[in-house]
A and B are shown apart, each in its own frame.
Chain A
Amino acid sequence: MCQPKQIAVDDPRFLELDTFLKKLQGEKGIAMIALQKAQQLFGYLPLEVHKHISAFTGISVAELYGVSSFYSQFLLEAEGKHRISVCMGTACYVKGSQKVLDKLCELLNIKVGEVSSDGLFSITAARCIGCCGLAPVIMIDEEVYANIVDLNELEQILDSYRSKEAAAVTVSVASADNKGEAEDLA
């Protein structure tokens, strides 16, 4: 759970989390809802966030960590800027999604669960995303790419994100005030 980049104690997102937790007071079984909200705010769940929720709700860090480590949706480490989910549901698998996954790992030179060296991409093997009719599919963030029959398409898809990113960097460097963006890429 150790993170190179700590989240500051006075991060404004903690305030938003508090407002949300306040509304839940008195309700039963809120550990999961709290963690879901926190992940939505922070993108992942480092130890500081666990501690914060624990202090607010009285649920022990151990119990929270038990929950966050149980469910595959909760991320204990930061991800790449774009999350590539390769659907490994049965319909996609029988139509060759393993090859798609292998190819992506090869192109980015990372394994499943890792972040690419430029920080742009991370790969996850997703459970069925429910588009079995369009198999094999991959999803980058919320965008679905269907019928990946030609593996050469993948390079083009990745490139489209890289060039978008390059354009964004030029803008942010030019304006020189978009710290977050540059930090994300560092």
Chain B
Amino acid sequence: MITRTRTSWENISNLRRRTLTELEQPEHFRVTVGMATCGISAGADLTFEAIRQEAERNDLQDISLEITGCIGLCSFEPIVEIYEKGKEKVSYVKVDPVKAIAIVRQHLIGGEPVEEFTLRGFLREQHEKKQREAEAHSYLSHKLEPVTTTELDSRSKDLVIEDESEESDLAGLPEHFIDLPFYKKQKRQVLRNCGYINPERIDEAIAVGAYAALKRVLTEMSAQAVIDCISDSGLRGRGGAGFPTGIKWSFAAREKAEEKYFICNADEGDPGAFMDRSILEGDPHAVLEAMIIGGYAIGASKGYIYVRAEYPTAVKRLNIAIEQARELGLLGDHIMASDFSFDIELRLGAGAFVCGEETALIASIEGGRGMPRNKPPFPAAHGLFGKPTIINNVETLANIPAIILNGSQWFRTIGTESSPGTKVFALGGKVEHTGLLEVPMGITLREVIFDIGGGCPDNKKFKAVQTGGPSGGCITENKLDLEVDFDTLKAAGSMMGSGGLIVMDEDNCMVDIARFYTEFTVDESCGQCVPCREGTKRMLEILERITGGHAEMDDLDLLEELGEHLQVSSLCALGQTAANPVLSTLRQFRDEYETHIRDKQCPSHVCKNLLGYIITANCKGCTKCARICPVHAISGKPREIHEIDLDVCIRCGLCIENCAFNAIERR
């Protein structure tokens, strides 16, 4: 049993003074390893262990080795950073155990950073590799032409000049992550502590200001003042719909009831989104603090965090954070020796997307099937166990402490008039730099995808970006300059959603994407109301007919009509928005749908049944394809052009992969 000691603010602020200097200017080395789920997947746990063991072997006792959350740049993981008093922070990227041991020996013992493993060293190596490739390319293209001596001279001069420019280029290579283009346009407000503090140590969280807002609330503010502050800030729910948080709180505060509940919705089910996971794994105390403040504002004494079971690391860190907060008297009876009591319990989801919907989430915490119900009554009046309940999303909550501390007007200086603040996005799909980023509202999608994300890799052409997951829609090139906020995205036929941004390039088939999302909603529909249960299934059937090559043109009208019916007649948001991916792609890529149906072709060569394979005149008759074809669809005599029988062919693509002469094409 943990003994719950009451701690006054003095003890906590002492903790704060002591550790802040330790974090920023540590007496000895402070080594942090990025250990969010993404970092661990990239091998950060092995890196951490290698550093720990090597330090132990060398009897390095005075270094502090800490885990930390995600700094957002997935492609550079595992990331190790070293802080030292009086020196600039050194950032190492892609640190495997071998590099880790070298870093311990040379940097921690020898005092000299291992230049080649640092961010800058890595970028230099990439730069040089590109240069070598370019040189090899120009050499090859010149090789066949006769060259005069004067030409050679001038070419070598070019090389010299290039060398100079290389020097100046290298001097401009960033040393810190914040200097990378990926971070230039970001404003890390919610994510400010992720990748900096150890999320499993409450003293580090307190050092950077955690629970200071709670102190102000408990000592200086009335419940109404807290609600007014949040209302004035204009904060809107980050879970997708964008409902004003302050107004929501005021609804529950108005209700008279013995018991009220405050729930944090951490059931991030949107495929391709991991904002909430990163916040919970990197800065769990921000969420706990906000929940206590919210509980105070609406008069609740009990809070629940409903978190996906698929996020074991987040669950573990939340449990640790809750225990530590209880030990310090920040949770439990008489928080900070005040009259206010509040405690938080964790509830695990079990893999149902619909539980992200408020009333379904409540049903799930109550232990039943997670099925939504009609609103009103809204949860603020009639929620968990029939009591007034507020449900806020993780990212929404993570904004609260800073608003309390800096004031509502400060918050309004960030973002747009109707959507103040920042938004965290998970950028994924066909984009050079995938990762987690936070930008002020009002930034354009073009800036996010091209300036921050670096555009599509391999010089592929950008086609669309999907926002809002299975409830959202696609945004095409011509709308990329819209300023992102809740209202503009909605007007553009999509929605903000929780913040997943999936970039698609020319190789992605939009009909297939619509089919993918519809398959998802068919799976995740709770089955309670007919429009959603049957409607999504019928939509999927039509889409499968289209991708399978059996559809008629009339099917498009049917699809549209069905989608519109779903929007107006489904019970909950899942059904109401389930048709969005279909309707949005149908609106913007109707020609692609038509090509599928009319010409029985998939322009992006994705839909298997519509792919034709053809052997071109490049065929040398080597017979390799005929031998490896699993269904013997290819025939031909040696040294003669082969043929594919498309009626037998299963479109597995094995022949294309194995042809040494690039003689087989998809049509």
A residues sitting closer than 8 Å to B (CB atoms) are 28-33, 35-36, 63, 66-67, 70-74, 88-91, 93-95, 126-135, 137, 142, 144, 146
Contacts and interface: CB of A to CB of B under 8 A. Distances in A.
A128 B75 CA distance: 18
Contacts of A137: 41
Interface string B494-530: 0000001010100010000100110000010010000
Nearest to A28: B385
Nearest to A90: B272
A31 B517 CA distance: 31
Given A128-B274, A131-B37, A133-B74, A90 B310 contact: no
B367 A90 contact: no
Nearest to B273: A128
A73 B267 CA distance: 14
Interface string B354-381: 0000000000111111110000000000
Nearest to B435: A133
A31 B434 contact: no
A131 B349 CA distance: 19
Interface stretch (B327-335, B423-431, B620-628): B423-431
A132 B434 CA distance: 8
B1 to A, nearest CB: 13
A146 B42 CA distance: 7
B415 interface: no
Given A72-B352, A127-B271, A129-B310, A94 B430 contact: yes
B270 A128 contact: yes
A133 B426 CA distance: 9
Given A30-B367, A70-B369, A94-B502, A127 B310 contact: yes
Nearest to B345: A27
Contacts of B98: none
Nearest to B527: A70
A88 B271 contact: yes
B428 A132 contact: yes
B516 A73 contact: no
A175 B301 CA distance: 57
Contact of A36 (B348, B435, B526): B348
Contacts of B269: 127
Interface in B280-306: none
A137 B369 CA distance: 30
Contacts of B365: 29
Closest 8 CB pairs of A and B: A133-B74, A29-B367, A91-B428, A71-B350, A90-B272, A89-B271, A73-B351, A132-B428
Contacts of A36: 309, 348, 350
13 contacts: A30-B367, A31-B368, A32-B347, A32-B350, A36-B348, A74-B350, A90-B272, A90-B516, A91-B428, A94-B504, A127-B351, A132-B428, A146-B41
A28 B429 contact: no
B450 interface: no
A73 B350 contact: yes
B311 interface: yes
Interface of B: 37-38, 40-42, 74-75, 77, 268-274, 277, 309-312, 347-353, 364-371, 385, 426, 428-430, 434-435, 466, 469, 500, 502, 504, 508, 513, 516-517, 523, 526
Contacts of B310: 73, 126-127, 129-130
Contact of A134 (B42, B312, B366, B429): B42
Which of A32, A74, A95, A146 has its CB near the most chain B CB atoms (within 10 A)?
A32
A164 to B, nearest CB: 18
A132 B508 CA distance: 17
Contacts of A88: 271
A91 to B, nearest CB: 3
Contacts of A28: 366-367, 385
A94 B41 contact: no
Contact of A91 (B75, B371, B429): B429
A71 B351 contact: yes
A57 to B, nearest CB: 10
A133 B367 contact: no
A97 to B, nearest CB: 10
A126 B353 CA distance: 12
Nearest to B513: A94
B608 to A, nearest CB: 10
Contacts of B368: 29, 31, 63, 66-67
A128 B272 contact: yes
A135 B427 CA distance: 12
B272 A89 contact: yes
A126 B351 CA distance: 10
A69 B270 CA distance: 21
A90 B466 contact: yes
A48 to B, nearest CB: 20
Contacts of B41: 131, 134, 137, 144, 146
B434 A135 contact: yes
Nearest to A139: B41
Contacts of B311: 130
A132 B272 contact: yes
A125 to B, nearest CB: 9
B367 A33 contact: yes
A181 to B, nearest CB: 26
B351 A130 contact: no
Contacts of A66: 368-369
Nearest to B272: A90
**Max chain A Cβ within 10 angstroms of own Cβ: one of B41, B311, B371:** B41
B37 A32 contact: no
Given A63-B368, A133-B75, 11 more contacts: A32-B350, A71-B352, A90-B272, A90-B466, A91-B428, A91-B502, A127-B271, A130-B310, A131-B38, A134-B41, A142-B312
A127 B269 CA distance: 8
B500 A90 contact: yes
A69 to B, nearest CB: 9
Contact of A132 (B371, B426, B516): B426
A34 to B, nearest CB: 8
A146 B434 CA distance: 14
A126 B500 CA distance: 17
Contacts of B74: 131-134
Nearest to A147: B42
B428 A133 contact: yes
Contacts of B513: 94
Nearest to A31: B367
Contacts of A127: 269, 271, 310, 351, 353
A113 B110 CA distance: 54
B172 to A, nearest CB: 26
Contacts of A130: 37-38, 268, 274, 277, 310-311
A142 to B, nearest CB: 8
